[in-house]
Amino acid sequence: MSLSTLSFDNRYAQLPEAFYARVAPTPFARPHLVTVNPDAAALLGLTPEACQSAEFVDYFCGARSFAGADPIAMLYAGHQFGSWVPQLGDGRAILLGEVDRPDGSHWDVQLKGAGRTPFSRQGDGRAVLRSVIREYLCSEAMHGLGIPTTRAMCIIGSDEGVPRERMETGAMMTRLAPSHVRFGTFQVFASRNQTDHLKTLADHVIQFHYPHLRDEPQPYVALLREVTLRTARLVARWQGVGFVHGVLNSDNMSILGLTIDYGPFVFIDTYEPAYVRNHTDHSGFYAFNRQMEIGHFNIYHLATAMVPLMDAEQAQGVLNEYKSAMEAAYSQQMRAKLGLTTEQDGDAALVEGVLDLMHRGKADFTRFFRSLSTVSAVADKADALPAECQQWLAPEALPPAKVWFQRYHQRLQMEPLDDAGRQAAMNRVNPLYILRTHLAQAAIDKAEAGEFGEIERLRVLLSNPFEEQKSMATYSLPPAAGAADAMLSCSS
């Protein structure tokens, strides 16, 4: 498929005008290709050759418009750090349109950093190279981990100065998702008592994204339930890989249960339950161990927004399902991380125990879990704490570690798989490679100096994070001791 034959159908732009503002992207004067992801391009049917053409850069920095595309900025509102903000909207992202594919799939093609829109408020409408590289890599890392996410197709760079804490250069990222509707999209119409728009939005989401709910006796209740369950599972998945989103505002919550709007996110290196990385988050509102609760907070506000479409008791009933769905997903995942395929009394305590041990032992979250597959269930090895596990624990944690490992060893006796089988299963859920902050930063530093190869190297590695690649051994390591553990700001 070539660029000029992409088929756009702009279903969202055909909704009432109150849903968006029509606005064209503001291109860069001298754009250049920073990187392109052939896997995401293939979702649109674009060939690697099409991605390398000169016109590719023009299309994905907004200098050339696609035939049939009808660009818009979407309206939404949201709760930000617990406070209601009545109007937000795409302040720097522009939805070029929706591409429909012969296989029936549909992809929103959105340019992030595409210039000012009527929703920009005081913002400049731009994104900086640093932040789009982080989002690009993290979207693809998340996809590699099997966690629902928006996708990243390319980054176009520029020499346009964009002021942040320091002067940086502007860049645009092309993001793909079946839909960019957020919880905040429902909230904006509910808060304005625009029940007709609320209903139109719900109908649109059901028709195009949850078509199997159309025949439910109460489609809106069913929609709320599906979003609730997907959100519960999504947040549980983040907990399993040590991912801190950083800005879980309700406008950053996808109606499809995708990870969206990567800002000051982090994959935890040294395990810290109350980890906060965003330095504007003084109270720890979005700390690692609060994300499951925040998921509930956001679902509560989505349910509240949808109340005009159902009985309040029905909304409450669905809301009540969040906690059990989240806990079930969490414990299923944590059991899998420990290589437990059966469910036994005491499993929850075993999980709590390992997390406590990791906290006390200042363990690297990813490497410690990965190392657990080296534990043998064979009886005469009961006392052995494998060196591979031991090396990730501070010495003061070794006595309590012995106790935990003995319990773990006993528990493994109840499992049907042999050591090799369990190891293979564990290595499919405990990644070896994650997008560590220092790895992303190294790619950013090189890119800012004009070298883009590291971005692609990381993208390829993280697209397959479970399989060991001997030549990439250093990429599996935590940052060197003493390396600056920089806090990340919201600025992007």
The residues that touch ligand AMP, with contacts defined as CB under 6 A, are 88-92, 119-120, 123-126, 247, 252, 261, 263
For Mg ion, the closer of residues 70 and 261 by Cβ is 261
Q: Which is nearer to Mg ion, 35 or 252 (CB)?
A: 252
Q: Measured from the CB atom, is 251 or 269 closer to ligand AMP?
A: 251
Write each residue from 259 to 278 as x if it is in contact with Mg ion (CB under 5 A), else as -, in one continuous string: --x-----------------
The minimum distance between CB 474 and ligand AMP, in angstroms, equals 32
* Per-position x/- string for 205-244, each x denoting binding to Mg ion as judged by CB under 5 A, each - no binding: ----------------------------------------
Q: What is the distance of C-alpha 423 from the center of its chain?
A: 27
Partner from Mg ion, ligand AMP, none binding residue 284, C-beta < 5-8 Å depending on class: none
Q: Is 108 in the site for Mg ion (CB under 5 A)?
A: no
Calculate the alpha carbon distances from 390 to 269, 379, 404 in Å.
17, 19, 12
Segment interacting with Mg ion (CB under 5 A) among 108-116, 188-196, 256-264, 273-281: 256-264
Shortest separation between residue 72's beta carbon and ligand AMP, angstroms: 13
Nearer to ligand AMP, 120 or 289 (CB): 120
The binder of 125, among ligand AMP, Mg ion, none, by C-beta within 5 to 8 A per type, is ligand AMP
- Select the span of 32-40, 224-232, 253-261, 422-430 touching Mg ion (CB under 5 A): 253-261
Both structure tokens of 433: 């490679």
Residue 92 interacting partner from Mg ion, ligand AMP, none (CB closer than 5 to 8 Å by kind)? ligand AMP
Residues 6+ positions from 204 with CB-CB distance below 8 Å:
11, 12, 15, 181
Catalytic annotation, pick one of 70, 90, 108, 251: 251
> Where do the H-state alpha helices sit in 35-96?
38-43, 48-52, 54-59
Question: By CB under 5 A, what part of segment 434-473 binds Mg ion?
Answer: none
Residues 6+ positions from 160 with CB-CB distance below 8 Å: 28, 29, 126, 169, 170
3-state helix, strand and coil shares in percent for the chain, rounded to the nearest 5: 45, 15, 40
Strands (E) in 10-150, as ranges, are 20-22, 32-36, 72-74, 78-80, 83-85, 93-100, 106-112, 127-128
Shortest distance, position 182 Cβ to ligand AMP, whole Å: 9
Nearer to ligand AMP (CB atom), residue 254 or residue 314: 254
Q: What are the backbone angles phi and psi of residue 96, rounded to the nearest 5°? A: -65, -40
* Binding partner of residue 91 among Mg ion, ligand AMP, none, CB cut-off 5 to 8 Å per kind: ligand AMP
Nearest approach, Cβ of residue 184 and ligand AMP (Å): 9
251 is catalytic: yes
Task: Determine the distance from the C-alpha atom of residue 426 to the mean position of all C-alpha atoms in its chain, rounded to a whole number.
Answer: 22
Please count the other Cβ atoms lying within 10 Å of the Cβ belonging to residue 313.
Answer: 9
- Minimum CB separation of residue 227 from ligand AMP in Å reads 19
Instruction: Return left, alpha or beta for 45; rule: phi > 0 is left, psi -120 to 50 is alpha, else beta.
Output: left
- In angstroms, give the least distance from the CB of 119 to ligand AMP: 6
Using the minimum distance from each CB to Mg ion, give the nearer residue, 37 or 252.
252
**Residue number, 168 or 261, with CB nearest to Mg ion:** 261
Q: For the CB of residue 270, give the shortest distance to ligand AMP in the complex, in Å.
A: 26
Q: Which is nearer to ligand AMP, 242 or 264 (CB)?
A: 264
What's at 71, amino acid-wise?
P
Alpha carbons within 13 angstroms on the beta-carbon side of residue 268 total 28
Residue 432 is encoded by which pair of tokens?
Answer: 């070896």
Q: How far is the CB of 160 from ligand AMP (least distance, A)?
A: 13
Instruction: Give me the 371-410 binding string for Mg ion, x by CB under 5 A, dash otherwise.
Output: ----------------------------------------
Q: How many residues does the chain have?
A: 492
37 CB-near residues (< 8 Å, 6+ apart): 136, 140, 151, 152, 153, 154, 459
Query: What distance lies between CA 55 and its chain's CA centroid?
Result: 30
Rounded to an integer, what distance in angstroms lies between the CA atom of residue 122 and that of residue 92? 11
Q: Decide: 145 and 366 in contact? Cβ < 8 Å.
A: no
Q: How far apart are CA 19 and CA 76, in angstroms?
A: 8
Choice from 117, 139, 252, 278 touching Mg ion (CB under 5 A): 252
Distance CA 32, CA 475 (A): 28
Write out the residues near Mg ion by the rule CB under 5 A. 252, 261
Annotated active-site positions, please? 251
